[in-house]
């Protein structure tokens, strides 16, 4: 059994190295059908590992009879990183079936000396450059490719509905209606695009803007229906609003003494419209040799939608010396993870963890500091009251005169 796994591991490593040996560009060329169209299309083969090798070419797909390779074989030396090639397209006067027709130009890696290599047995690396030919449909025929951008929390959502008229007739009036649903299947918005004309073979974008400033972060789904000259076509797409699923609001370390156990109390807010599960806090602290000095983890929590919870983690500081340490703070959960480089400052009675741009701040709240704040507040309020009393007294004395 061990021998089998060893052999399998060697094969996997071989294939990983093999995968990056050959490349081809462009990956796809798209043209619209024209009767008896003749066109030369260029492509390049990339010897990304600078190997001595040979490449043979083949053509596949339903349009293979319309493709002529200008070369069927080429050798690469280790010093040659890329070579340019081309193939000729000679389309017939008619293709009966409308829609998408394809061809694949396949480049296959072979040993450089094919004659002495004999019959090649085993896996051979092949890369493909595709040719797409769109044959127009009779009448009016619309294809959709919806894109959603700027789907951010407290911002606008922009729907870009790419619409291509694959018919042989022009479309006079096309308009998109977009129904937006949340993760619970509730409709939260209806958005409409402007009306556009689409010529035969033309690609345009139907644009609709949704103001999502009062919408909760979460998963959403849109159902898109485009009506055009009495016809319609529909599509569906998922998207997200908001990036920060969980956000650290505050982390406190109270009553700390160096050499004891520090208790981190993290207040975490779920800004997502769904419950977050498997969430935990992880702080890794490194020593001056970049070795892990502490790996501090909380237990696993569930955080209800649009709510806050406290995450508790402990650090036994026995043997820890005063000073500044590099660290990394993680907040992991079932929807993803958040991490940030931090600096951990440890003193006799305080832990201060400073994050980039001040976005994460963990510190001990000293009782003496709190008392001082209260004393200052009392003094300020007392002074204001005294000043108010003096001003009011002068005003009353003036009125009596």
* Cis ω for the linkage preceding 380 (within 30 of 0): no
Locate the domains of the chain by residue range: 20-135, 142-241, 246-365, 369-401
- Which 3 state secondary structure label does DSSP give 384? helix
- Percent of the chain past pLDDT 70, that is, above it, reads 78
- Percent of the chain past pLDDT 90, that is, above it, reads 44
Whether residue 71 contacts residue 84, with contact meaning beta carbons closer than 8 Å, is answered with no
Pick among 3.40.50.300, 2.60.40.10, 2.30.30.60, 3.40.50.920: CATH of 142-241: 2.60.40.10
pLDDT number for residue 11: 45
Mean pLDDT (the chain, rounded): 81
pLDDT number for residue 7: 42
pLDDT number for residue 215: 78
- Which 3 state secondary structure label does DSSP give 4? helix
Q: Would you say the CATH fold of 246-365 matches that of 142-241?
A: yes
Which CATH number is associated with domain 246-365? Answer: 2.60.40.10
CATH level 2 (architecture), domain 20-135 = Sandwich (2.60)
Q: Biggest alpha carbon distance in the chain?
A: 124
CA 371 to mean position of chain CA atoms: 47
How far lies 205's CA from each of 56, 143, 158, in Å?
A: 41, 11, 12
d(CA 37, CA 339): 55
Whether residue 89 contacts residue 70, with contact meaning beta carbons closer than 8 Å, is answered with no
Q: What is the pTM of this model?
A: 0.55
d(CA 238, CA 291): 42
Which residues, other chains included, contact 195 with Cβ-Cβ below 8 Å and sequence gap of 6+?
A: 173, 174, 175
d(CA 341, CA 286): 11
Confidence band of 378 (pLDDT split at 50, 70, 90): low
Residue-wise pLDDT tens digits, 111-138: 877 554 444 444 568 899 999 999 999 9
Mean pLDDT of all residues in 59-81: 92
d(CA 159, CA 177): 11
Strand partners of residue 297 = 282
134: nearest Cα among 200, 181, 71, 53: 200
């Amino acid at each position: 059994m061990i021998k089998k796994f060893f052999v399998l591991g060697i094969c996997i490593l071989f294939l990983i190295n093999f995968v990056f040996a050959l490349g081809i560009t462009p990956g796809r060329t798209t043209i619209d059908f024209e009767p008896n169209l003749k066109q030369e299309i260029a492509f390049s083969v990339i010897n990304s590992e600078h190997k001595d090798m040979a490449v043979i070419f083949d053509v596949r797909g339903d349009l293979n009879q319309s493709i002529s390779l200008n070369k069927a074989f080429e050798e690469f030396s280790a010093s040659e990183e890329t070579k340019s090639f081309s193939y000729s397209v000679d389309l017939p006067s008619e293709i009966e079936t409308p829609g998408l027709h394809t061809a694949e130009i396949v480049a296959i890696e072979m040993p450089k000396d094919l004659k002495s290599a004999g019959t090649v047995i085993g896996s051979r690396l092949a890369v493909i450059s595709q040719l797409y030919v769109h044959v127009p449909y009779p009448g009016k025929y619309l294809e959709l490719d919806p894109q959603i951008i700027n789907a951010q929390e407290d911002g606008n959502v922009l729907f870009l509905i790419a619409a291509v008229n694959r018919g042989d007739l022009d479309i006079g009036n096309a308009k998109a209606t977009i129904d937006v649903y949340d993760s619970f299947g509730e409709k939260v918005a209806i958005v409409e695009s402007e009306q556009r004309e689409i010529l035969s073979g033309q690609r345009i974008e139907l644009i609709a803007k949704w103001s999502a400033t009062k919408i909760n972060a979460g998963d959403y789904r849109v159902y898109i229906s485009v009506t055009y000259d009495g016809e319609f076509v529909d599509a569906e797409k998922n998207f997200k609003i908001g990036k920060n699923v969980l956000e650290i609001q505050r982390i406190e370390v109270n009553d700390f003494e160096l050499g004891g156990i520090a208790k981190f109390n993290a207040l975490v807010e779920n800004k997502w419209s769904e419950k977050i599960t498997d969430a935990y806090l992880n702080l890794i602290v490194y020593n001056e040799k970049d070795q892990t000095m502490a790996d501090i983890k909380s237990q696993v929590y569930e955080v209800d939608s649009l709510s806050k919870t406290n995450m508790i983690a402990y650090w036994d500081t026995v043997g820890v010396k005063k000073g500044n340490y590099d660290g990394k703070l993680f907040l992991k959960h079932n929807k993803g993870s958040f991490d940030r480089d931090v600096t951990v400052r440890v003193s006799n009675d305080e832990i201060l963890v400073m994050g980039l741009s001040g976005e994460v701040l963990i510190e001990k709240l000293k009782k003496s500091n709190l008392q001082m704040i209260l004393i200052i507040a009392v003094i300020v309020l007392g002074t204001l009251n005294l000043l108010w009393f003096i001003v009011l007294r002068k005003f009353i004395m003036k009125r009596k005169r």
